[in-house]
């Protein structure tokens, strides 16, 4: 059994895998070191991996007392080629998603779009090479920016029915952010398909549910792609021992 930990900007996810099967998932704003130790002692995983876009060294030190731990960095061995020119700056969640994408659709060009604090676009080609991608502001970030950097615009949040024509200031902000993001994502998919005509597109991330039905392009929704990629990387490194 593997323990997989993904520390994001908004949520921390802990997952237990039996082989390639996700058997338990905990997702919350923060997880204390004591909670992680408690989970390790309860389930007795054979190995663990931590991916963090924030600080993760404290978790590594405490977990090392219970289980073998890998912290995913730019130096960690992965089962794809990493062509990113600055691998030490690459978010480990982006790399993990690319690994899972290639594992799932090997031999295909795959674009992973993750809708979270930011929208990230990550391309892994048919030869198993991660080529990079793009980053733009996510939905909450857009709402917050319009409130923070103006004198009178309110802070708004998502609602289910967002028309293209906003008839209030709140509606206009929601339309600009949500419909603008959907148009951006569709436009980016088309741009990638100009260079990769057989492209497979995967949509993931916490805000995925807001856009899966809004996009004109066909996509595959894989909400746990980062966790799956981390589990693959952990198994790959365990096999190298």
* DSSP bridge pairs for 121: 113, 134
C-alpha–C-alpha distance, residues 148 and 101, integer Å? 36
User: What's phi and psi for 216, nearest 5 deg?
Assistant: -80, -30
Write the DSSP symbol of residue 120.
E
Instruction: Tally Cβ neighbours within 10 Å of residue 23.
Output: 11
How many CA atoms within 13 Å lie on the side-chain side of 42? 9
Q: Catalytic residue numbers?
A: 93
Write the DSSP symbol of residue 88.
G
Angle between helices 225-240 and 92-104 (to 10 degrees): 90
């Amino acid at each position: 059994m593997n323990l997989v930990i993904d520390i994001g900007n908004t949520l921390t996810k802990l997952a237990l895998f039996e082989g390639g099967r996700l058997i338990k998932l905990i997702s919350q704003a923060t997880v204390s070191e004591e909670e992680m130790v408690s989970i390790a002692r309860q389930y007795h995983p054979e190995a663990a991996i931590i991916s963090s876009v924030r600080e993760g060294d404290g978790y590594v030190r405490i977990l090392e007392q219970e289980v073998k731990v890998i912290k995913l960095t730019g130096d960690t061995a992965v089962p794809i080629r990493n062509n990113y020119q600055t691998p030490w700056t690459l978010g480990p969640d982006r790399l993990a998603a690319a690994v899972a994408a290639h594992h799932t659709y090997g031999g295909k060009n795959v674009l992973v779009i993750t809708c979270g604090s930011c929208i990230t676009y990550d391309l892994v080609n048919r030869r198993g090479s991660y080529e990079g991608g793009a980053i733009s502001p996510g939905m909450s970030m857009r709402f917050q920016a319009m409130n923070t950097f103006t004198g009178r615009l309110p802070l708004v949040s998502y609602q289910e029915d967002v028309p293209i024509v906003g008839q209030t200031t709140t509606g206009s902000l929601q339309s600009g952010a949500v419909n603008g993001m959907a148009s951006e994502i569709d436009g980016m998919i088309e741009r990638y398909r100009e260079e990769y005509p057989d492209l497979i597109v995967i949509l993931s991330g916490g805000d995925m549910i807001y856009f899966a039905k809004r996009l004109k392009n066909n996509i595959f929704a894989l909400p746990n792609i980062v966790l799956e990629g981390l589990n693959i990387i952990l198994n790959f490194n365990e096999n190298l021992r």
